[in-house]
Amino acid sequence: MKKIFLYFLIVTPMAVMAQVKINRTQAPKPGPAPVIKVGEPVSFTLANGLRVFVVQNTKLPRVSATLTIDREAIREGDKAGLVSMAGQLFRRGTTSMKKAVLDEEVDFLGANINTSARSVTGGSLKNNFSKLFALMADIALRPSFPADELEKIRRQELSGLAQAKEDANAIAENVVSRLVYGKDHPYGEIETEETVKRVTIEDIRSYYTTYWKPNIAYLIFVGDITPEEARKLAETHFGGWQKGELPAQDFALPAAPAKTYIAIVDRPSSVQSVINLVAPVQLKPGAPDAIAASVMNNLLGNGSSGRLYKNLREKHGFTYGAYSSLQADKLVGNFTASASVRNEKTDSAIGQFFVELNRIRNEAVSNEDLSRSKNEMSGSFARSLESPATIANFALNVARYGLPKDYYQNYLKNLSAVDNSAVQAMANKYVTPGRMHIVIVGNAKQIAPGLEKYGEVRYFDVYGNEKAAPVEKRASADITPSSVLNKAIEVQGGETAIAALKDVSMKGTASVMGQSLDFTAQYVLPSGYLQHISMGGIAVAKQMTKNGTYLVVQQGMEQELKEEDKEELDEAASLIPEWYMQKKGGYSYAVKGIEQVEGKDAYNLEIKSPKGRTFNFFYDVTTGLRVKEVRTQETPGGKMTISVTNTEYKTFNGVKLPVKLVMDTGQFKINTEISETKVNQGLTLDAIK
């Protein structure tokens, strides 16, 4: 199953891209920065302090409105998750209507309303907007906070947290937040099962009554509405909203570490390491440095034209993408450089990160690169003005951050003035290779050796708490490859039951990046095998072996197969590879130790095939079942390490077969569930075609 899925997911996007004729050897010549006039919305303030902005645009008979609460960050303490849960609960009913009635009213208007902890947003056709706006005001001013809906939200949050525990990127985000900002800063708080379970209706009501005040709120109208109409709606629905005092907030300013160190979160099941090099920075929105600093970051790592991408992906092939970001913030911003790389390239990738971070600090950028980067940014700015909402957002930023009123009017002029020396100055101010947190989530056993040259190596759990380095477990002397394989065959049913399998047919589905795939697999043992993949009823791929012939078809095109590909298809056709390899002969084995798979100890068995392939099978120490396999394969994008974890087995005719599998390519996961398995139904080789 793994090979055909991999071909499908890697080759398909490349086939589409191949139809676009691009000369990648020559960058397009930069053009002159456009001269653009930035419009200004009509604005006014209600008596209660609510600031209102109106951007009239009559191209379409639609209107949208957004109410934003501009509160400071707050600490949630041992109830982290409270604020986001409150934001979801706003939409679940008001004092005048339950959620079902509210949903029906919104649907009847052909409209939409969304809420967050800081906002209520809605939009509809102009004819329906006054009714929609009344519903928005009801949500914003009279939320009912139903207890039963809070419990639904809590269950969803707990489910999401359970999944996040297995997501390397989610783990990295948590640990970065905790280490960069600290547990006592609002940006360093981590939502856990325990904190979510502590949140009560009273907590949410307290949050709402404390922070939802008109004197820190902004109301933005965009679309086919006049300022007079907007004022009338605002006065009618929000004029009676009472202003209030907000509690003062005071947080310690996070500082960069005294020197760079390595923070490893050990995740033995990872086939790639998630790398983040991060440091807090003092950069407020609209600060004098902001434009020049953004040019510097654009050159370094803001997309496929950035130096990090060109180095780590295009030059060295370590990753599918490497990027950097420089985030401005009222409290504290951050600089981050990141990538996901193959485990064995972690050390090398970090080395190349430092090459680029130091190069942009120590070498002036070329005039050509600088011109290209500024033209990219000016073009992006110009395109953003095509949306009327941009004008409103600019006005909101000016108000929220105290920017000069002509900040955006002068943006292109100030961007054009950024020169090489300014870029280098920004790099030396905001890119600090000697004082960074390097957070890596991955298989510590594979990635840790050699990292000490970049700084002290320390270990943390998934919540950013420091812990002892993992201890390598070794298998006892009486554990041999034969004992591991023999137990695996025995617990799967034994040789007699396995030999009694004549044919097996399977049906199942797989979830891939939000898409659903259907597959069927047929086995006529020992040498007939067919797997067919389809999406929405359209055949996309199949692989087959039958009496010594081999076929892999991808989107109607037959793939050229090497001898090692045929060997792997033979193993797949056997259904029980342990039994097949022992019968076939020519394979060599070595027990490489004990590693954790899904939180349980498993023997790591390294296998070398007669054709020279090397791969690893992992067997649960207690049950003896094969729980994971790891292979490295050549793809059109280079080498890729793929793991397949068997999370559930079921017994058919006395033989245990995996029915739930998770394939992890490092870039995406494929969750597969086999819904139907039939054994010894009289299937013949004639059906394999």
For 127-161, the pLDDT digits (tens) are: 999 999 999 999 999 999 999 999 999 999 998 89
Give the residue carrying structure tokens 């009017």.
409
- Is residue 637 very low, low, confident or very high in pLDDT (cuts 50, 70, 90)? low
Mean pLDDT value across residues 385-404: 90
Cα–Cα distance for residue pair 653/677, rounded to 1 Å? 11
DSSP notation for 344-376:
GGHHHHHHHHHHHHHHHHHSPPPHHHHHHHHHH
- Is residue 24 very low, low, confident or very high in pLDDT (cuts 50, 70, 90)? very low
pLDDT at residue 20 is higher than 50 = no
For 36-92, the pLDDT digits (tens) are: 677 789 999 999 999 999 999 999 999 999 999 999 899 999 999 999 999 999 999
Phi, psi of 375 (to 5 degrees): -70, -35
pLDDT at residue 202 is higher than 60 = yes
> Is residue 98 classed exposed, middle or buried when 0-12, 13-18 and 19+ CB atoms within 10 A define those classes?
middle
Cα–Cα distance for residue pair 631/6, rounded to 1 Å? 12
- Is residue 635 very low, low, confident or very high in pLDDT (cuts 50, 70, 90)? low
Q: What's the gap between Cα 585 and its chain centre?
A: 43
Give the residue carrying structure tokens 């600031």.
51
Cα–Cα distance for residue pair 335/333, rounded to 1 Å? 7
Name residue 38's amino acid: V
Which residues lie closer than 8 Å to 478 by C-beta, 6 or more apart? none
Mean pLDDT value across residues 301-330: 94
Mean pLDDT value across residues 624-637: 83
Whole-model pTM: value is 0.79
Amino acid 6: pLDDT? 44
Count other C-beta atoms under 10 Å from residue 341's C-beta. Answer: 28
> Is residue 153 classed exposed, middle or buried when 0-12, 13-18 and 19+ CB atoms within 10 A define those classes?
buried
Cα–Cα distance for residue pair 128/425, rounded to 1 Å? 53
Whether the Cβ atoms of residue 542 and residue 557 lie closer than 8 Å to each other = no
Amino acid 36: pLDDT? 63
Mean pLDDT value across residues 379-406: 90
Element (H, E) at 659: strand 655-664
Cα–Cα distance for residue pair 578/629, rounded to 1 Å? 12
Cα–Cα distance for residue pair 259/334, rounded to 1 Å? 16
Determine the straight-line distance between the first and last CA of the chain, rounded to whole angstroms. Answer: 17
Cα–Cα distance for residue pair 50/43, rounded to 1 Å? 11
pLDDT at residue 576 is higher than 90 = yes
pLDDT at residue 463 is higher than 90 = yes
> Is residue 368 classed exposed, middle or buried when 0-12, 13-18 and 19+ CB atoms within 10 A define those classes?
exposed
> Is residue 380 classed exposed, middle or buried when 0-12, 13-18 and 19+ CB atoms within 10 A define those classes?
exposed
Cis-peptide, bond into residue 30, ω within 30° of zero: no
Mean pLDDT value across residues 114-135: 96
Amino acid 9: pLDDT? 42
Whether the Cβ atoms of residue 642 and residue 6 lie closer than 8 Å to each other = yes
Cα–Cα distance for residue pair 312/318, rounded to 1 Å? 5
Amino acid 671: pLDDT? 87
pLDDT at residue 167 is higher than 80 = yes
Please tell me the chain's helix, strand, coil percentages from 3-state DSSP, rounded to the nearest 5: 40, 30, 30
Distances (CA, A) of 60 to 226, 367, 667: 14, 43, 40
Q: Is 638 helix (H, G, I), strand (E, B) or coil?
A: strand
Amino acid 13: pLDDT? 37
Cα–Cα distance for residue pair 209/268, rounded to 1 Å? 46
Q: Is 206 helix (H, G, I), strand (E, B) or coil?
A: helix
Which residues lie closer than 8 Å to 632 by C-beta, 6 or more apart? 614, 615, 639, 640, 641, 642
Amino acid 37: pLDDT? 72
Distances (CA, A) of 294 to 50, 97, 438: 32, 47, 22
- Is residue 110 very low, low, confident or very high in pLDDT (cuts 50, 70, 90)? very high
pLDDT at residue 3 is higher than 90 = no
Residue 31 tokens read as 């053009």
- Is residue 688 very low, low, confident or very high in pLDDT (cuts 50, 70, 90)? confident
pLDDT at residue 21 is higher than 80 = no
Q: What is the dihedral of CA 521, 525, 528, 533, to 10 degrees?
A: 10
Residue 328 tokens read as 């401005």
pLDDT at residue 17 is higher than 70 = no
pLDDT at residue 27 is higher than 80 = no
Out of 208-212, 524-528, 558-562, the most confident range is 208-212
Residue 666 tokens read as 């490092």
**Strands 62-69 and 119-125, how do they pair?**
antiparallel
Cα–Cα distance for residue pair 199/298, rounded to 1 Å? 41
Least confident of 4-8, 460-464, 487-491: 4-8
Cα–Cα distance for residue pair 658/651, rounded to 1 Å? 9
Helix axis angle for 563-573 and 577-584, nearest 10°, is 120
pLDDT at residue 22 is higher than 90 = no
**Strands 51-56 and 112-115, how do they pair?**
unpaired
DSSP notation for 442-485:
E-HHHH-TTGGGGSEEEEE-TTS-EEPPPPPB---TT--HHHHH
pLDDT at residue 169 is higher than 50 = yes
Helix axis angle for 420-430 and 290-301, nearest 10°, is 90
Amino acid 680: pLDDT? 95
